[in-house]
Structure 1
């Protein structure tokens, strides 16, 4: 895995990485975004308690209509088994990226898998992003809501 952390800048397109869903069906993360775009949260791991808390918050935001029609997408590293583990706890769209977190600048550095949140418009252009090696710093409700305004 790459040690390079090159996160897409605001206005750049989020790379359309390959993913699999909980059943193992392959697609790409930016497929079927819809006109309202998406909030895409990349977990550090499917078992990370902080990342799971971020998924719960994203679910609450979606349920309350705060995402304003944007899709809530959760991506864990690993395989369909990891996606299935997360999907059991949420109604958001859940996928696994295999080793492709690195392709959006979320590689491993000093053995720490980075996590992050991207708000993208319907064309996949990054409106907001927050990434970190520490999962507590990879999600901001306030920044998500501001980007969706």
Structure 2
């Protein structure tokens, strides 16, 4: 998993239309919150995404761009996004899963995909990183909120 205070490597993901999404493209203009779902069928993860959608205006006001990373293929990700009418970019990996790119692995005999979140400031520095094997523990709402508040002060949480 990426470490708080580290500089994000040049990650390149893919949106549901097949376009490249490079985290470096947001540098200098927006912060990026990557939320990594265990799967699109996980009811707990879907609840976390609903919370992010309910906070859409608050996050936009803080110049935080939300990307929802899913481990499935692009077609499945596109169908899931359309069904939920998500206002956020949904991304997959260009090769492998986006989870693997940041070090979120499969645990418990390789059957359980880790999920979590990473907040990257507009300079490309990791300000928050949280992961868990069990989905109920993967969404650190309080930690994310504290990290977003810290964007104004320059301190990491």
> What TM-score results when the alignment is normalised by the length of structure 1?
0.84
1:21 equivalenced with 2:19 (yes/no): no
Say if 1:15 and 1:104, in contact at 8 Å, map to a contact too: no
Query: Which deviates more, 52-61 or 27-36?
Result: 27-36
Q: 1:139 to 1:78 in 2, by over 3 A?
A: same
Correspondence 1:64-75 to 2 at 5 A:
65-66=58-59, 68-75=62-69
**What runs of 5+ residues in structure 2 fail to find an aligned partner?**
150-157
Find the residue that maps to 1:19 and give its secondary structure. strand
Mark the runs of 5 or more structure 1 residues left unpaired by the alignment.
Answer: 1-6
Deviation at 1:78, TM superposition (A): 2.4
- Report the counterpart of residue 42 of structure 1 in structure 2: 36
What's 1:11 paired with? 5
Q: How many residues align?
A: 142
User: What displacement does 1:94 show?
Assistant: 1.0
Whole-Å separation in 2 of the counterparts to 1:76 and 1:113: 10
Instruction: Using the TM superposition, give the Cα deviation of residue 38 of structure 1 relative to its aligned residue in structure 2, in angstroms.
Output: 1.4
Which has the higher Rg, Structure 1 or Structure 2?
Answer: 2
Distance, in Å, in 2 between the alignment partners of 1:66 and 1:28 is 20
> What's the counterpart of residue 79 of structure 1?
73
Do the aligned residues in 2 keep the contact of 1:21 with 1:95 (CA within 8 Å)? Answer: yes
Q: Which residue of 1 aligns with 2:99?
A: 101
